[in-house]
Amino acid sequence: LWQRGGWKIHLSGADDLVPQLQDYYRTNTFGKFDDDVIGVKNNGHSIEVTGCAELPREHSEARAIGRNLNGCRIGFDLGGSDRKAAAVVDGEVKFSEEIEWDPYFEPDPDYHYQGIINSLKRAAEHLPRVDAIGGSAAGCYSHNRVTWASLFRGVEPKLFDEKVRDMFINIGREWNVPLEVLNDGEVTALAGSMAMGKNGVLGIAMGTSQGGGYIDMNGNITTWLSELAFAPVDMHPNAPADEWSGDLGCGAQYFSQQAVGRLLPASGIDYDSTLKLPEQLKIVQALMEQGDERALKIYDAIGIYLGYSLAHYAEFYDYEYVLLLGRVTTGPGGEHIIERSKEVMETEFPDLAKRVKFHIPDETEKRHGQAIAAASLPRIG
């Protein structure tokens, strides 16, 4: 569900399980979260489970979007701890900046709106005109409407409907230019595809949470959710609970700053537990730079998680390249994550290990790749 989305589940040859699974989405705490987000918020319909003699044929859509570099454009990226904006002229970044903010639990949507507008105006000062605006943001977006997003999780439902759902549509109207906003994971994968000149890219961002995105083998973006932060990768009954959905073993607990924070107490590293996750990560990164074995164990664990999870993801995605980015992957720690995951795949999944290549953006790509990809989303004219 978290990979594809949708609201109707077809079960073939398991009629006895239909009422049990339907009840799960109506009464179980974890199931109700899935139903609310994937069913109601994303599709306007509660999840339905139905039995069938034969499964319907798969129907999947993909579209060519982005890669438009002409004109004067603004690209923005809205994360959980900072927002970025860039002024781009014919594919060349003229200005970019990163501003810290804290949107997750902010109840007033004007905080988000004013922050976005501020970043757009600051970027526009470095352009002769603005022809188009493209953006990436954590969450789910349909035709530039916010269906559900962690950035706005602090906004109560009535205000969300009034001020958040059409926020980007309204910004496009105010600026009177084409505007396109997509999930940040999808734009990340697009940025990687553009930088490498390759298709079949699975993007994994290890930041405040886990971001996921996918470019298919034809270079297109799919209509799938790819919300891998909520997709379980650990089936152990005592796996850690997700801090939002409450579900067990979800990706965010294994591939994000949350993973580092969860592993830190067991590492033996002395630290102030009241520090926020970004500060905890800085401590681990500094120790890793010094060759500290305790820090190495944290990255070692994440690398093992990744090796097994990439095989799991390969059951759902056809990919040849893995794009890794986010603060957790910076420095020698990120290099060790890749090497350890390769070891796991070579031992456990040799065919996958032969096929998959890793890509970590260089500094130029890190600074500008996402902004250029986001700015390239709208078509001019």
Higher pLDDT, 345 or 138: 345
Mean pLDDT throughout 266-287? 96
d(CA 23, CA 141): 28
d(CA 178, CA 64): 17
The per-residue pLDDT for 185 is 87
Tell me: the pLDDT tens digits for 9-42?
A: 999 999 999 999 999 999 999 999 999 999 998 8
Q: Is 157 helix (H, G, I), strand (E, B) or coil?
A: helix
In order of start, what are the domains of the chain with their CATH numbers? 8-52 (no CATH), 63-177 (3.30.420.40), 197-368 (3.30.420.40)
Tell me: the pLDDT tens digits for 177-221?
A: 999 999 988 998 999 999 999 999 999 989 889 989 999 999 999
Give me the residues paired with residue 346 across strands: none
The per-residue pLDDT for 62 is 86
pLDDT category, 366, cuts 50, 70, 90?
Answer: confident
d(CA 322, CA 206): 13
The mean of the pLDDT values for the chain is 94
Give me the residues paired with residue 181 across strands: 135
- Displacement of CA 316 from its chain's centroid (Å): 16
Tell me: the pLDDT tens digits for 123-181?
A: 999 999 999 999 999 888 989 999 989 899 999 999 999 999 999 999 999 999 999 99
The per-residue pLDDT for 207 is 87
Mean pLDDT throughout 89-100? 94
Counted residue by residue, the chain has a size of 381
First to last CA, the chain: 36
pLDDT category, 274, cuts 50, 70, 90?
Answer: very high
The per-residue pLDDT for 371 is 83
Mean pLDDT throughout 48-69? 90
Strand segments, DSSP code E, in 70-168 are 72-78, 82-89, 92-100, 132-137, 140-142, 145-148
- In 3D space, the residue among 156, 115, 157 whose CA is nearest the CA of residue 137 turns out to be 115
- In 3D space, the residue among 298, 208, 300, 204 whose CA is nearest the CA of residue 256 turns out to be 208
pLDDT category, 294, cuts 50, 70, 90?
Answer: very high
The per-residue pLDDT for 44 is 87
- Displacement of CA 89 from its chain's centroid (Å): 26
The per-residue pLDDT for 239 is 98
d(CA 378, CA 332): 36
pLDDT category, 331, cuts 50, 70, 90?
Answer: very high
d(CA 295, CA 282): 11
- Rounded to the nearest 10°, the torsion over CA 343, 270, 252, 326 is -70
Give me the residues paired with residue 140 across strands: 148
d(CA 38, CA 25): 11
